[in-house]
Structure 1
Amino acid sequence: MKPSLLAFLLFSFFHLCYCAQRYDAIFSFGDSLSDAGNLIVNNASAYLTSKWPYGMTFFHKATGRCSDGRLFIDFIAEAVGLPLPPPSLKPGEDFQKGANFATTGGTVLDYSFFQQRGLTKSLFTTDNMKTQLSWFEKMKPSLCSTTQDCKDYIGKSLFVFGEFGGNDYNAFLFSGKSMDEVRKNTPNIVDGLADGVERLISNGAVDVVVPGILPIGCFPLYLQLYKSSNKDDYNQFGCLKKYNKVASYHNQLLKIKLQELQQKYPGTRIIYGDLYNAAKQFVVNPKKYGFTNGALKACCGGGGPYNVNLDYRCGQTGSNVCNDPSTYASWDGIHFTEAANRYIADGLLRGPFGNPPIMS
C-alpha cells in the first residue's frame, strides 16, 4: 500500500472513530459569538439579528445568530458528529445531544456590578455567565437522572465555555472609561470567569474549552469609533494597539488561571481557545483565507472606510450588505462571517488555536 493512501486511511479512520464515540453531547455558553437565538426567543422584534440579512448564507433566514451563517460552535458540533446545539430557551427542543446557553450581550460580571457604576448603556441583557450556568443546572435533571448517569453523561459531553469577557470590556470602553480603569478590573473579570469554569467542573464537566477574547483593536467597529490621526496608535496591520493590549492582558491572566485549575482538577481536560491569534491571522494574511476584502471592513454595515455606521447598522434601513460574505472576515463590524467562523473552529479542533486541540 502506498504511504499516501495509508496516511489517508488512517486519517479517515481517526476522524470516524472520533466522531462516533468521543462525545455524547455538546453544551455552549457565552455571548454573541455563540448565541444561536436565546436573546430573541422572547424579544425577537427588538433585536437586529432577528432580521435579514443575518443568516443569509447558510440558514437563508435570520436565526438570532450574529453572522451570515454558522458560528464557530456550530462547526465544532458538526466536526464531532453532533447536531447544532439549539438555543436553550427555545420551547419544544430536544436537548439530549446538547444545548446552547449563550446569549448576546452576556457578561462575566453581574448586571448589578455595571449598574452601580453607570456602565449599562452598551449592555443588551441582564443575563450573564451565572445566569447561563443556572439555566444548565435547571436543565440537568431532564438530561440525566441518577448520580452515576449524570457522571457518565456529563463526563462524555463537550463544554465550550465562552467567549466571555468581551461585553464586560465593552461596558467600560463604550462608557469612556480609561485604560487604567479597564486594566484595574481585568483580574476581577478573569477571576469571575475562572469561578464559572470551576462551577461547571463541579457539575461534572470533564472536557471544557475556555476561549480567550479577541483582538478588539482590529474590529471595524472599534476602528470606526476610536479612529485616530496619530499613526503611532496603529500597528503595521492597521489595528489600534492599545485596545489589543487590553485583550492580550486578559488572555495572559486567563491562561494562568486555567493552568491553576488544570492542576487543581487533574481529571479534567481544560482547553484554552486562542481566539486572539485565530482572528489575528485574518488581519495578517487575509488573502490566504480567501478574504479578498480583508479583515478590517465589515460585509454588512452603513458605509465609510470600515463599513460601520451606528446610525445604519447591519439589518437597519440605510445599511448595505456585500455580495459575497466569504470574501470578508468581519460580518457586521464586531462579529465574524461564517467563513471566518469555520477557520476559527478548525483551529480549535485540530490546532494551532486549541491548547491542546479538541481533537487530540
Structure 2
Amino acid sequence: MKLSIFFSFLLVSSFHLSSSQRYNALFNFGDSMSDTGNVVLAGLPYGMTYFGRPTGRCSDGRLVIDFIAEGIGLPHLHPNTAKDADFHQGANFAFIAATTLPFDFFHQRGLSKGLWVNASIHEQVDRFEKLLPSICGTPQECRDFLGKSLLVVGEFGGNDYSTGLFASRNVSEVRTFVPPVTQAIAEGLERLIGLGAVDIIVPALLPVGCFPLYLTLYNTSDPEDYGPRTGCMRRHNALSWYHNTLLRRQLDRLRPKYPAVSIRFADFYAQVFDFAINPLKYGFKDGALRTCCGAPGLRNYNFNLHAKCDQNGSSVCPDPTTHVSWDGIHMTEAAHRIIAQGWLHGPYVDPPIVSSSNN
C-alpha cells in the first residue's frame, strides 16, 4: 500500500475514533440485554423504576443502550417492529431470546425445543437493510447517513450457549458452538460495513457464571467450582471468556481489512466481573449475585424457577439500586447506568464513545 493512501486511512480512522461527533442516529442489534420492545413478555414490576410500566425491557428501568442514546443526545430507540415510528434517529433490532446462529444450527443438534424467536444476527441485519431506504434513500445517501451513525452490535452469543446448557448439554459440547457464533458476528459486522457503517461498538459476552440463574441451576457442593473472590462459577465464566477471546480475534482480523472503520470492543465481561469482586465500590450493598426481583430458591441467590420475577410468589427488593441482578439473568437500571458510563467515558470502550474533548 502506498504511504499516502495509508496515511489517508489513518486520518479517516482517527476522525471516527477521536470524535464523538454529534451522531445523527443510533442503531442497535442483539438480544434481551438490549431489546427495547420488539418482544413484550412480562408485566410489572418490569419497567417500574423509570417508565412506570413494562416496555419490553428486561429490567426495572433503562438499559445500557438507553443510557448510550441519552449520552450522545439521541432519543431512546424505538423497536424496529413499532408501527408508525420515526426511525430517522435510529432503531433497535434486538429481540429477547435471539440467538446469533440460525435455527438450522440448533435443529441439526437436536436443540429445537428451546427456540421460539427467529432473530439471528443475519435476520436482524436483513431487517436493517430493508428499513434503510425509508430512512435515508438511495444506497449512496444511506452510506453518507451511516457515516454519521453509531451502531452497537451485541451482545450476541448468550442465547446460543444457553440453548445447549438448558438442554443439559455439557459445557465442553457447548464450547464447540463458540467458533461459529463469533464467525457469524464477524460476518454480520462485514454486512453492516458493506452498507456504510463506519463506527461500531461490539460488546463482549457477560460472565454468565455470575448470574443467579446459572448459580441456581448448576450449583455444586465443590468449592473448587467457584471463584474464591467472586463466588461465580468457573466453568461457565470460562465459556464466556473463550467467546470473548475468539470475538477479539475476529475484530483484530477485521480492523486491517477495513482501516477506515472504527470497530471498538466493549468489555461487558470485565465490568460485570468487577461488580462481583467489588460490589460496595459501586454501591451494590446486597452484592452482585443476589436477585432483586425473585423468590428464595437454592442457595442464597433469591432466584426460584417456580417463582420468577413478575410471577406469583416473587417479590421486589426495597431498593433495586443496591443490586446488580434484576431477575436472575438481566441487570438493574443502576447496573446499566454504570456500564454505560464505562462505554461513554471509558475505560471499557477504548477510545470511549464520548471523547474528553467534548465533555
Name the TM-score, length of structure 2 as normaliser.
Answer: 0.91
Q: Which residue of 2 aligns with 1:178?
A: 170
Confirm whether residue 288 of structure 1 aligns to residue 261 of structure 2.
no
Taking the TM superposition and a 5 Å limit, the aligned residue runs for 1:252-263 are 252-263=245-256
Within-5 A mapping of 1:128-277:
128-236=120-228, 237-277=230-270
Superposed CA deviations along residues 178-204 of structure 1, whole A, max 9, x for unmatched, are: 222122221111111111111111111
The whole-number CA distance in structure 1 between the counterparts of 2:249 and 2:24 is 30
Q: How does 1:1-360 map to 2 (within 5 A)?
A: 21-40=21-40, 47-48=41-42, 51-236=43-228, 237-304=230-297, 305-360=300-355
| 1:310, distance to aligned residue in structure 2 (A) | 1.0
- Where does the alignment leave 5 or more consecutive residues of structure 2 unmatched? 1-17
How many Å apart are 1:253 and its aligned residue?
A: 0.6
Shift of 1:18: 7.0
C-alpha separation in 2, matches of 1:141 and 1:351: 34
Task: Give, in whole Å, the separation in 1 of the partners of 2:22 and 2:115.
Answer: 37
More deviation, 141-150/206-215: 141-150
Cα-to-partner distance string for 1:51-80 (whole Å, 9 max, x where unaligned): 000000000000000000000000001000
CA contact under 8 A between 1:300 and 1:332: conserved in structure 2? yes
Is the deviation greater in 123-132 or in 196-205? 123-132
Q: Which amino acid aligns with 1:24?
A: N
Cα pair 1:104 1:124 within 8 Å, conserved: no
The letter of the residue matching 1:249 is Y
Runs in 1 of length 4+ with deviation above 4 angstroms?
A: none
Separation in 1, partners of 2:111, 2:144: 42
Separation in structure 2 between the aligned mates of residue 122 and residue 331 of structure 1, nearest angstrom: 23
**Structure 2: how far apart are the matches of 1:179 and 1:102?**
26
Measured after TM superposition, the shift of residue 351 of structure 1 is 1.2
What SS is found at the alignment partner of 1:175? coil
Return the offset for 1:323.
Answer: 1.4
Q: Which amino acid aligns with 2:32?
A: S
Query: C-alpha separation between the residues in 2 aligned to 1:280 and 1:124?
Result: 30
Q: Residue 227 of structure 1: SS of its match in structure 2?
A: coil
Distance 1:140 1:330 in 2: 35
Contact 2:200–2:263 under 8 Å retained in 1: yes
* 1:28–1:160 CA contact under 8 A, matched in 2: yes
Secondary structure of 2:201's match? strand
Q: What is the distance in 1 between the residues matched to 2:143 and 2:122?
A: 22
Name the residue aligned to 1:5.
none
Distance (whole Å) between structure 1 residues aligned to residue 109 and residue 249 of structure 2: 28
What is the CA deviation profile of residues 8-34 of structure 1, one whole-angstrom value per residue up to 9, with x for unaligned ones? Answer: xxxxxxxxx977x43100000000000
Q: CA deviation at 1:122?
A: 3.3
> Does the 8 Å CA contact 2:35/2:94 hold for their aligned counterparts?
yes
Q: Once the 2 structures are TM-superposed, how far is the Cα of residue 154 of structure 1 from its aligned partner?
A: 0.8
* 200-209 vs 296-305, which moves further: 296-305
Paired residue type of 2:23: Y
Quote the offset at 1:318 in angstroms. 1.2
1:303–1:320 Cα contact (<8 Å) kept: no
SS at match of 2:94: coil
Residue type of the alignment partner of 1:317: N
1:18 and 1:80 in contact (8 A); partners too: no
| CA-based RMSD | 1.4
Partners in 2 of 1:321 and 1:275 — Cα distance?
A: 25
How far is 1:83 from its partner? 0.4
Secondary structure of the residue that 1:32 maps to in structure 2?
A: coil
Give ranges in structure 1 of 5+ residues lacking alignment.
Answer: 1-16, 41-46
Distance 1:127 1:177 in 2: 23
Distance 1:64-1:280 versus aligned 2 partners, 3 A rule: same
Deviations 1:260-286 (A, max 9, x none): 111100010001011000111110111
Distance in 2, matches of 1:32 and 1:354, equals: 21
Identity level (%):
52
Q: What code does the residue aligned with 1:131 have?
A: E
Q: Which amino acid aligns with 1:345?
A: A
* Paired AA for residue 25 in structure 1: A
Asked whether the equivalents of residues 161 and 177 of structure 2 are also in contact (C-alpha less than 8 Å), the reply is: no
Code of the aligned partner of 1:357: P
